[in-house]
């Protein structure tokens, strides 16, 4: 008995999400393993500024040079915070890393007709949102807020070969820990994309206030990789104003179905809810200011 076309469509979308995301999750868990085995708490303490604002700014700069993607950034941030990076700095890095790194900047430049304008707008808004959210979190939470903040003791006197083996072991464990949430998130995203028509959302968002909200909702549902979302956004240029497109390009890599589930698996629920509220409000407000400023 043949499956209905709607389920075949959902299956296709689900597989495409996994194929797009899995390589970056693999990269993320291996980087997490390298941090675990080769970066000591003392190293982190030396390079991380004590001042909360400087710590957030330092994390944003780190995000600008780190070629990451939101699909694999959560395990990296979890490990950094476990090593002593303050929560507010770790989240600032998590929010900017998938957006303002060189790979994503160049992809946005190409997607919008070899123009730097949208890539620059996207980076500026992402930095503003990350700084605001990071500083706000520094006042709201004092601990690391990880669900599991007890990490196994590491012997840094082991041979390089031994530690590299431990990197692989750690990466496998982390992959299966995060992978199930990636699969669940991909399945939910595929189902929503299949049964909630994009045309319905687009018909709602025609005013300056509703269009940004619709594009943010669309970014959350589509759960696109930040290295490919600019090509989707560029297809809406004739329908939506640049401010709405910026909201789509900033909100999606910061919050989508996949990384929401990963964050709930990593951080305490109150932190995830705070991040979601702060990011949503700040991105929306930024896009409205962007719109009325006429940039």
The winner for highest mean pLDDT among 53-57, 179-183, 192-196 is 53-57
More confidently predicted of 251 and 211 = 251
State what percent of residues in the chain have pLDDT above 90.
35
* Section 75-83 average pLDDT: 88
Length of the chain: 295
Average pLDDT of the residues in 190-214: 75
**C-alpha to C-alpha distance for 277 and 256, rounded to whole angstroms:** 13
**What digits encode the pLDDT tens for the residues 217-271?**
989 988 888 877 888 888 888 778 889 999 999 999 999 988 899 999 999 999 9
The rounded distance, in Å, linking the Cα atoms of 219 and 203 is 16
Higher pLDDT, 285 or 203: 285
Judged on CB neighbours under 10 Å (0-12, 13-18, 19+), 265 is: middle
How high is the pLDDT of residue 140? 96
226 CB-near residues (< 8 Å, 6+ apart): 69, 70, 98, 99, 104, 252, 253
Residue pair 234/248 in contact by the 8 Å Cβ criterion: no
243: phi then psi, degrees, rounded to nearest 5: -60, -40
Interatomic CA distance for residues 248 and 77, integer angstroms: 23
Q: What is the dihedral of CA 57, 59, 61, 64, to 10 degrees?
A: -140
Q: What is the pLDDT of residues 137-177, one digit of tens each?
A: 999 998 899 987 666 666 667 788 888 888 888 778 878 87
Q: pLDDT value at position 95?
A: 95
- Give tens-digit pLDDT for 31-45: 878 877 887 777 877
Q: Identify the sign of the CA torsion 229, 87, 214, 237.
A: negative
C-beta separation of 85 from 78 below 8 A: no
pLDDT above 60 for 1: no
Handedness of CA 84, 89, 95, 101 (dihedral sign): negative
Closest CA relative to residue 71, chosen from 107, 31, 23, 119: 23
Residues 55, 186: Cα–Cα separation, whole Å: 33
- pLDDT for position 152: 61
pLDDT, tens digit (0-9, with 9 covering 90-100), for 8-30? 888 888 888 788 777 777 887 78
User: Tokens 């995203």 identify what position?
Assistant: 189
Tokens 């809406």: give the residue. Answer: 236
When pLDDT is averaged across residues 190-207 and rounded to a whole number, the result is: 71
> Taking all residues of the chain, what is their mean pLDDT, rounded to a whole number?
85
Sorting pLDDT into bands at 50, 70 and 90, what band is 66?
confident
Classify the C-alpha dihedral 251-253-258-263 as positive or negative: negative
Label residues 127-143 b or e (16+ Cβ within 10 Å = b).
bbbbbbbbbbbbeebee
DSSP states of 174-232 as a string? HHHHHHHHHHHHHHHHHHHHHHS-HHHHHHH--SHHHHHHHHHHHHHHH---TTTHHHH
Q: Give CA–CA dist 190/221, Å, rounded.
A: 8
pLDDT digits (tens, 9 = 90+) for 85-111: 999 999 999 999 889 888 889 889 998
Phi and psi at 267, nearest 5°, equal -110, 165
């Amino acid at each position: 008995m043949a499956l209905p076309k709607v389920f075949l469509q959902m299956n296709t979308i689900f597989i495409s999400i996994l194929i797009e995301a899995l390589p970056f999750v693999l990269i993320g868990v291996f980087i997490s393993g390298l941090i675990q085995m080769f970066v000591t708490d003392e190293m982190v303490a030396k390079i991380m500024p004590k001042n909360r604002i400087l710590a957030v700014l330092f994390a944003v700069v780190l995000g600008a040079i780190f070629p990451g993607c939101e699909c694999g950034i959560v395990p990296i941030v979890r490990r950094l915070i476990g090593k002593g990076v303050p929560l507010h700095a770790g989240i600032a890095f998590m929010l900017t890393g998938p957006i303002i790194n060189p790979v994503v900047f160049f992809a946005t430049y190409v997607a919008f007709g070899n123009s730097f304008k949208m890539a620059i707008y996207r980076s500026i808004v992402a930095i503003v949102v990350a700084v605001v959210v990071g500083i706000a979190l520094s006042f709201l939470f004092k601990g690391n807020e990880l669900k599991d903040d007890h990490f196994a003791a590491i012997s840094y006197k082991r041979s390089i070969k031994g530690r590299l083996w431990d990197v692989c072991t750690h990466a496998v464990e982390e992959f299966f820990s995060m992978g199930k949430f990636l699969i669940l998130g991909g399945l939910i995203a595929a189902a929503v994309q299949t049964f909630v028509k994009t045309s319905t959302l687009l018909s709602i968002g025609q005013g300056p206030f509703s269009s940004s909200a619709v594009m943010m909702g669309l970014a959350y549902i589509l759960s696109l990789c930040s290295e490919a979302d600019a090509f989707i956004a560029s297809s809406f240029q004739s329908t939506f104003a640049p401010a709405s497109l910026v909201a789509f390009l900033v909100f999606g890599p910061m919050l989508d179905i996949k990384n929401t589930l990963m964050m709930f698996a990593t951080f305490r629920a109150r932190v995830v809810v705070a991040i979601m509220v702060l990011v949503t409000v700040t991105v929306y407000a930024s896009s409205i200011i962007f719109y009325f400023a006429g940039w």
